[in-house]
Amino acid sequence: MHTIIYLTGYMGCGKTTTGKKLAAKLNYNFIDLDSFIEETQNQSIPEIFTVKGEDAFREIEKGALHKTFDMSNTVISTGGGTPCYFDNMEQMNKHGATVYIKLSPKTLFDRLRNVKTERPLIKNFNDAELLSFIEKALAEREPFYNKAKFIVNGIGLTPKILIELMNNKKT
């Protein structure tokens, strides 16, 4: 089993929920990269976006990601955009196992529509705008997500399924 496991995928796919369960099952540490950034920056992600802008956030995110490379026995839930900037996906593949938790735009929409007020990027969208936004963003991000060593369907995903997947496919 890999000592660092990076969970990637679009917001709402279950990276944090699955990551916490997987870490508990493996007796690994768990890190949510966004929470890690908020703690180290003493600002929320929306505040960083507002005050410093997205480019600055992506630099901060890259730095936070690089701090994970020396960790061991850790499951890391990345931000939805993390794999899509700089050489982040290549670096995650180099330093650990990457898992893309894949869901359809419709399933992501169903999951996000009732919690969109908690997500600054989508909080002001009506249903049609939200679905369109998810479809467009997923189309842009999927080429990066698909570079993951493991691609798994997010429906009914359990730690057991992930462990079996990673144990059966040698990288």
DSSP string, 14-29: SHHHHHHHHHHHHT-E
Arithmetic mean of pLDDT, 30-42: 97
Q: Note the pLDDT tens digit of each residue in 82-102.
A: 999 999 999 999 999 999 999
Can you spell out the DSSP letters for 40-101? HHTS-HHHHHHHH-HHHHHHHHHHHHHHTTT--SEEEE--TTGGGSTTHHHHHHHHSEEEEE
pLDDT at 171 over 50: no
The pLDDT of residue 123 is: 84
Q: Quick check: 86 and 137 in contact, CB under 8 A?
A: no
The pLDDT of residue 144 is: 98
The pLDDT of residue 117 is: 78
* pTM of structure: 0.95
Arithmetic mean of pLDDT, 50-67: 95
The answer to whether residue 123 is domain-embedded is yes
The answer to whether residue 171 is domain-embedded is no
CATH number (domain holding residue 119): 3.40.50.300
The answer to whether residue 42 is domain-embedded is yes
Q: Note the pLDDT tens digit of each residue in 105-140.
A: 999 999 999 888 778 788 899 999 999 999 999 999
pLDDT band at residue 36 under the 50/70/90 scheme: very high
Structural domain including 102 reads 4-166
Arithmetic mean of pLDDT, 33-42: 97
d(CA 55, CA 160): 37
The pLDDT of residue 16 is: 96
pLDDT band at residue 46 under the 50/70/90 scheme: confident
Q: Quick check: 78 and 92 in contact, CB under 8 A?
A: yes
Phi and psi at 105, nearest 5°, equal: -55, -40
The answer to whether residue 83 is domain-embedded is yes
The answer to whether residue 59 is domain-embedded is yes
The answer to whether residue 120 is domain-embedded is yes
Long-range pairs for 125-129 at CB < 8 Å and ≥24 separation?
none
Strand, helix or coil for residue 13: coil
pLDDT band at residue 63 under the 50/70/90 scheme: very high
The answer to whether residue 89 is domain-embedded is yes
> How many domains does the chain divide into?
1
Strand partners, 75: 5, 30
The answer to whether residue 77 is domain-embedded is yes
The percent of residues in the chain predicted with pLDDT above 90, rounded, is 86
pLDDT at 1 over 90: no
